[in-house]
Amino acid sequence: MKTRVLGKDLKVSELGLGCMGLTFGYGPAVSEQDAIALIHRAYDLGITFFDTAEAYSQGLNEEFLGKAVKSFRNDVVIATKFGFLDGDASKGVDSRPERIRTVVENSLRYLQTDVIDLLYQHRVDPNVPMEDVAGTVKDLIAEGKVKHFGMSEAGVESIRKAHAVLPVTALQSEYSMFWREPENEILPLLEELEIGFVPFSPLGKGFLTGAINAETKFAENDFRNIVPRFSEENRRANQQLVELVQTIASENNVSPAQIALSWLLAQKPYLSPIPGTTKIHRLEENVGAVNVSLSTEELNKINTALEEIKLVGDRYPANFQARVGK
């Protein structure tokens, strides 16, 4: 698999693996054995960029990842995150310097490593000056516990403030055919400041695969149950986008997921999407996207069609949406 560079010098595989769904957000957690098998298969397929967080089941996700990559730790890039109160996204944010340090020490232990390659602030904390947040991570880098600083779902002003204290290597936010808002302000800023971009939910939380329709029932603890865009009514209304992706996939003899990822990879050279899955066959399908090359004509055709599709439904419930873009 080819590599891409985030920021000045963080080299990652062009496709990463988002590990959240292994333990959090999309129904019951998988077993440790299955999680390790999936991560090993990802590595065998050329993925060297793995994304986790303290908030994904209070360290369990990090534990699974740490055990899985232990034998090839020096060959991969591990990204994790701080920023939620007690490591629980439902409780609110907490980026106090002392909390950042506690999270880092916990993450180092869970991941069985002596350094975190990329440390994100999971959400901006309005009660802690960005100078203090970036300054704390800068100190952790000087101490050899962290290599690079990233931000997640941050807004333009916060990114600029942080970058003035410590160069931001990567921003992580949602971006896909299903959610293109970063194109308005975020992508131009990242180009200006030479910051990499790590799109999460590049398959629209599964919607772009064509496997979800208005009749789909999610597990009781599946995050999509509370996402407005995934209400039964909105899933039905947004099927036009799925049909577009399916048509293009059929024309190219590939899967809808591969078209969605190929389109995303073609948008900017400094981005590395991190699709997640719990199934090895879906992982293999996703990795196949790196071999799908859409022509300029096809990309223009897709973008023209996307402009004509009106998508409905917010991507977060109001209380979650209030935390993003700060």
278 phi, psi to nearest 5 deg: -110, 0
pLDDT of residue 104: 99
How do the pLDDT tens digits run along the chain, 326 residues long? 999 999 999 999 999 999 999 999 888 899 999 999 999 999 999 999 999 999 999 999 999 999 999 999 999 999 999 999 999 988 999 999 999 999 999 999 999 999 999 999 999 999 999 999 999 999 999 999 999 999 999 999 999 999 999 999 999 999 999 999 999 999 999 999 999 999 999 999 999 999 999 999 998 888 899 898 999 999 999 999 999 999 999 999 999 999 999 999 999 999 999 999 999 999 999 999 999 999 999 999 999 999 999 999 988 777 777 777 67
Contact between 16 and 198 under an 8 Å Cβ cutoff? The reply is yes
Q: pTM for this one?
A: 0.95
Active-site residue, selected from the candidate residues 26, 56, 110, 175: 56
pLDDT of residue 258: 98
pLDDT of residue 32: 98
- The domain spans of the chain are 3-321
pLDDT of residue 190: 99
pLDDT of residue 324: 79
- Tell me, which fold does domain 3-321 have in CATH? TIM Barrel (3.20.20)
For the question of residue 43 being annotated catalytic, the response is no
